[in-house]
Every structure is written in structure tokens, then in C-alpha cells.
Structure 1
Amino acid sequence: MTEPTLERRRVGQTILEVTTLGLGGASLAGNYTAVPAEQARATVAHALKSGINYVDTAPHYGFGRSEHLVGDALREQRGGVVLSTKVGRLLKPVHGQDWPRDEWIDPLPFREVFDYSYDGVMRSFEDSLQRLGLEKIDILYVHDIGTATHGIEGNKPLWEQLKTGGYKALRELRDGGLVSAIGLGVNEWEVLMDAFTLGDWDVFLLAGRYTLLEQTALHPFMSTCLERGASVVVGGPFNSGILVGGSTFNYAKAPDAIIARVRAIEAVCQDFGVPLPAAALQFPLTHPAVCNVLPGPRSPTELDGILDWWRLEIPPELWSALADQGLLAPGTLTRA
């Protein structure tokens, strides 16, 4: 049986086109939950077989583990796949000593050093190519710059690195054809507005800030993307799990107000016979700046569940009903 063809959308003003559903590589690296290597590789292979053509990874994910696993799978089927990874963290070997493992289960033996400078970006790009074992990276994101990760004072020197050198490196890589698109991958939209002051970008990976539960990025960020011709990849469509039956929001226990809002959204979804996770997955695509939604399944079985939600036809009236009940931000844009 032939799999249904997934819709594709253009990335910014580039020649890249991505399927509207992608595969995130953080969970595959053992993000809080162990994922055997063969299972991770099988998940990537299953995504490609199912018609997904966009895969995202990063040096941070498992301290290189995700890039190795994604590369293993893509070396078997690279043609037509759009691959993104990230810069901003260099990996240094720990030489047998103990090291902070953060949220990763069984990461590779490296520690991270933040570096957004010209040399840091170039080194990170070359290191990623080696870990992936591939000749090309299509999209290169600046990873986790901003106050959410580094604090107000800690971010200042790192932003200066990006401003005075890192952005130049990214432009050189894109202008030289070594990558096809550049952007930022973060959890806060405010820093993306700052990024627009540095120059032009093709695409932003924004996690958690434009979802069925939260549309804080709507104005001015999403509207500016339309004006500047930049696309948005929406990461974290389930807001850390709260929209798929979990109790976590923004990587922490969900407060009562968030739980109440989720229940209200779910009640409207039930009126239309739509599972909440299906609505959460498909909602971001109602905005014309969004080119892709990026969940992070841990196995082929989890991916099959996501594909079932993805293929479910959702009546446009559902979004109108949510808006009428004040459960979507005023002015939320929808595609005709």
C-alpha cells in the first residue's frame, strides 16, 4: 500500500522544500528516556519510508549521539532529504572523567563549550559533517542563544560573538553553497526579533511558542517573518507533553492554569471528534509562515501514532470554535 503523499512547503526564499511533518532528533539521543541505537536508526528510516523528508539534529543532543545516529540512517538514503543541524556548542572530549550529563541518557563522552564566534561556527559546521558522515548539511541553525539559556548577563558576550563574527560565518557558508539556509533554533521568540537586526535569515526553529496552547510568538515575530520572507519550523508542538496526555509544560510540572486551559481546549476538540494531539500537531500549519511541524518520536511505533494524528482530517470550524471561546490569541492567522 502506497503511503499518502505529505504536503511540502518552501523554506523561506530558498530552493528547499520540506514536508510539513518532520522528524526531530533530540528524543532519539535519549532525552530523559533511554533509546537504543538500533531503535533510533529504525525511527529515522521509518520516517523516510513514510514520506517525511526533513530531519533535524544538533551537537547538543546526546553530546553528538544524535548526529551519529541520524548520519547512520541517512547514509543509506540521503537523496531528497533535507537535513538541519546547529552551531553554538563545540564538543570537547572528557578523557574518562565524570561529566555533567544534563537530560541525556547514555550520552557520548563529551562536554559542551558555547562558542558563537566566526571560528566557532566554522569549527562546529565541520565537526558536524564528520559526526554525520555526510557531505552536505542543508539548514544550519544557531542553537540556544538568548537569555532563556544563558541569562541576561551571560548572553551579552555570546550575542556579541554572533554579531561580530558568527553571523558572517553563516552568511559565508550559505553564499558559498555549503548550506542552503541559515536561521536560529531557540525556545524564545524575543531573541529572534533581535536576530532580524543582524541581517536576513531563511528559517527559524521555534519550540513551544506557537502551539495550540500558546501563541505568544504571533505578534510581532510571526508577522515579521511574513514581511521578511522567512519561514518557521515549529518544534515542541505538544508543549513538552501536556498536549499529548502528559503533565509537563515547558520542561516542568504544568501549573493549574495551564492544565485548566488544556482541558478547555480538549473539550472543544471532543465536540468535533478530534483527538487533542491531532489538533496540536496540525494547528501550527494554519499560519502562513510555518513550513514544518517537528515532533520527536522515540520509536517507529510512536511515529506511526503521530502519522495517524497527522492524517486525520480536521474541520476548519474547530479553529473558529477555539477562537470564539478565547482559546486562541486574537488575530491568529489561518490559511484559506
Structure 2
Amino acid sequence: MKTRHFDRIGNGGITFTELGFGTAPLGNLYRPVSDEDANATLEAAWQTGCRYFDTAPLYGLGLSETRLNPFLRGKRRDDYVLSSKVGRLMRVSPPDQRTGIGKFFETPSRREVYDYSYDGVMRSFEASLERLGVDRIDILYVHDVDIFTHGSKEASDRRIEEFMSSGYYRLLSLRDQGVIKAFGGGINEWQVCQTLAERGDFDLFLLAGRYTLLEQEALATFLPLCEKRGIGIVLGGPYNSGILATGPKPGAFYNYTEAPKDVLDRVARIEAVCKRHGVRLIEAALQFPLRHPCVMSVIPGGQRPAEVESNRALLDVRIPAALWADLKQEGLMRADAPTA
């Protein structure tokens, strides 16, 4: 698998595989996954050449990290890149009060406590090291200081202020001491990423679903800022929660809910252009973000070995330049979207 090297501050940097693996699905997201199936999926990702694995305390309320533990134990630490997140602490709770009921299944009984403070960041980091069983984590992202998570811009702004006045300095210190290679934000909205980038010295953003074949508004101001500052992007959710993988069928998911009619119609038009060029929608969707120079890796995730193997095969499909040109001509893609 092709790799992309990222070294913003001259500390040796990080080598990403173009396809990474997001482990939220292995935290029993939306359905239970057995330990055996989770390990088989991780091993399948490794066999495809994937060497970048992203996790977070939230995913399965610690389950995602603990499932990575035995898988990574047999791997040389220098052979892979590992990222996790800070901003939530997992507290023991009664089963009926745990976080994520109806979203995460068969998880430990834990309740999330938001903590973006200086000490909270360190407690989260230390807990992740223990769950993962590793000596180091390469990248730490502050997790979900966004409107999607906290419900309003005002609430998001409060969390951003809490982090920037306290926890930010812990991440800065960890990076500058060489404990981690880089830090950034794992965020659902490019606007919030831009706010952070304008206020601090961030290396990377894990942007979930906001620069895809369907959405390119981040090209207006955020991605040009990243190019100017040398900030890298890891692109999560390249299928916008499913619709760019399944196509615009009834019940297709967009942003974790059923897609509205205008999204279904737009995806149908994009898919029609793809078909004219003999390209499947999912093939164009996975490859498109990688055309941007700031994007280091795309992490679609997966719950089964076949899904991981299928994603890897999509990278090898040749996409004709005329497909991108037609999407732009028909107003289905921003004219300034990099496609070379």
C-alpha cells in the first residue's frame, strides 16, 4: 500500500498508509462483534498493508482500545502508527446509566465524563496506554469539541475554551517533549477545526465526513489554511455514514440517520456520472479525498474482514480524469477540488 510521510515540525514525522483503519466499529458500534471477529478484521487490515490504526476511549467505552491490545502485542512497535483521543474519561457506572445505550452494544458499564483540562488530558492518555498495552501513542486528538456532540455552538465554544485554556498546553508539552509525535483534533465539523487551527499550533485534524465526494465546503477556507500551515488531514467517514457506499437506495444513511431527499437526489446524480465512466460510486468516493495534498490517510473502518479487503481493492481502481471533470461541469463537485 502507498504511504504518505508527514513531518510538520521536523521531529522525524509519521508515515501514514493511504488507507487507515478506524476502530469505532470494533467497539460494537450498532451491533455486537465477537472478540474473534474483531481480531480477524484487524488481521485482515494488516494483511492488506494497512499500518495506521485510530481508536478512542469512547469507542465501545474502552472496548476498541482493549481489542487492539492483543492484536498489537505481536507487532513491532515501529511497524505501525497509532492514534487515540482525549477529552473523555470513562467512569464505572450502573449498566442502565452507561453511555451509548442503543449505539454501542455489549460494552463495559462506563459513563463518559467530558474533561478537556490539563490534568484530564493526561489521565485520558495514561488510561489509553494501559488499555492498549503499548509504550507510546503517536498521535493524540482532542475529541469532539463540536456542535454535533455538544448540541449547540455555545456549548461547543465553551468546550473549545476549556480545552484551549488548559488541555491544549498538555498536548503541546507532550509533543514538544517527544512523548507523542503530533497532536490535533478529532472533529465532526470543519468550521470547528478551523477555529482550533486559528488559535493554536495543531499538526493534524481527523475530520469526520466533511470532505467527501458529496461535500467539499471545507475547500472554502479551512483546507487552504491547512495548506498554508502545513497541517495534515486524516479523513474519517469517506462514505458519509454509508450513502456513498450503498448508493441512494431507500433507507440509505447520511450523517448517521436516514438520508433526506435532497441528499438522495444529489448522490443519484453523482452515481449516474460515475456509471457513465464505468466507475462504481464507492470507488470514486474512497479515492476522491486522497487527491487533496493535505490528506494523509482515509479511514473508513469496518466490522468484517471482507469489508477491509474490499476497501483495499478500491484503491487500485483507475478513475478517469474525465469523471472528475464531468462532476465539476455538472455542478456536482466544487471547481477548485483537487483531482489530479
Same fold (TM over 0.5): yes
Name the aligned partner's letter for residue 272 of structure 2.
Answer: A
| Structure 1 position 228, deviation (Å) | 0.3
Pair 1:303-2:304 in alignment:
no
Distance 2:324 2:63 in 1: 39
Residue by residue over 1:60-107, the C-alpha shift from the partner in whole angstroms, topping out at 9 and shown as x without a partner, is: 000000011112211111331000000010000115564343410112
Pair 1:54-2:52 in alignment:
yes
Name the aligned partner's letter for residue 43 of structure 1.
Answer: T
Distance 1:222 1:316 in 2: 22
Pair 1:101-2:100 in alignment:
yes
Distance 2:72 2:339 in 1: 34
- SS of residue in 1 equivalent to 2:220: helix
The answer on whether the counterparts of 1:85 and 1:140 sit within 8 Å (CA) in structure 2 is: yes
The answer on whether the counterparts of 2:98 and 2:111 sit within 8 Å (CA) in structure 1 is: yes
Aligned length: 330
The answer on whether the counterparts of 1:288 and 1:334 sit within 8 Å (CA) in structure 2 is: no
Pair 1:127-2:127 in alignment:
yes
> Hey, which bits of structure 1, 4+ residues long, moved more than 6 A?
none
Taking structure 2 as the reference length, what is the TM-score of the superposition? 0.94
TM alignment of 1:276-315, pairs within 5 A:
276-315=281-320
Pair 1:220-2:215 in alignment:
no
Higher mean alpha-carbon deviation, 97-106 vs 145-154, is at 97-106
Name the aligned partner's letter for residue 316 of structure 1.
Answer: A
| Structure 1 position 157, deviation (Å) | 3.1
The answer on whether the counterparts of 1:233 and 1:294 sit within 8 Å (CA) in structure 2 is: yes
1:164 matched to which residue of 2? 165
- SS of residue in 2 equivalent to 1:79: helix
Taking structure 1 as the reference length, what is the TM-score of the superposition? 0.95
Q: Which sections of structure 2, spanning at least 5 residues, go unmatched?
A: none
Residue by residue over 1:256-310, the C-alpha shift from the partner in whole angstroms, topping out at 9 and shown as x without a partner, is: 1111111111111111111111110000011111111110111111111112222
TM alignment of 1:131-280, pairs within 5 A:
131-150=131-150, 151-245=152-246, 247-280=252-285
Distance 1:290 1:53 in 2: 16
- SS of residue in 1 equivalent to 2:331: coil
Shift in alpha-carbon separation, 1:30–1:97, aligned structure 2, 3 A? closer
Q: Which sections of structure 1, spanning at least 5 residues, go unmatched?
A: 1-5
The answer on whether the counterparts of 2:61 and 2:99 sit within 8 Å (CA) in structure 1 is: no
Distance 2:199 2:167 in 1: 11
Paired-residue identity, %: 45
1:11 matched to which residue of 2? 6
Distance 1:231 1:95 in 2: 40
Name the aligned partner's letter for residue 177 of structure 1.
Answer: G
Name the aligned partner's letter for residue 200 of structure 2.
Answer: G
- SS of residue in 1 equivalent to 2:49: coil
Name the aligned partner's letter for residue 76 of structure 1.
Answer: G
- SS of residue in 2 equivalent to 1:225: helix
Distance 1:255 1:95 in 2: 37
| Structure 1 position 135, deviation (Å) | 0.5
The answer on whether the counterparts of 2:22 and 2:300 sit within 8 Å (CA) in structure 1 is: yes
Name the aligned partner's letter for residue 244 of structure 2.
Answer: L
The answer on whether the counterparts of 1:139 and 1:181 sit within 8 Å (CA) in structure 2 is: yes
1:3 matched to which residue of 2? none
- SS of residue in 1 equivalent to 2:186: strand
2:114 matched to which residue of 1? 114
Name the aligned partner's letter for residue 324 of structure 1.
Answer: Q
The answer on whether the counterparts of 2:29 and 2:105 sit within 8 Å (CA) in structure 1 is: yes
The answer on whether the counterparts of 1:12 and 1:230 sit within 8 Å (CA) in structure 2 is: no
| Structure 1 position 315, deviation (Å) | 1.7
Pair 1:28-2:21 in alignment:
no
Pair 1:82-2:77 in alignment:
no
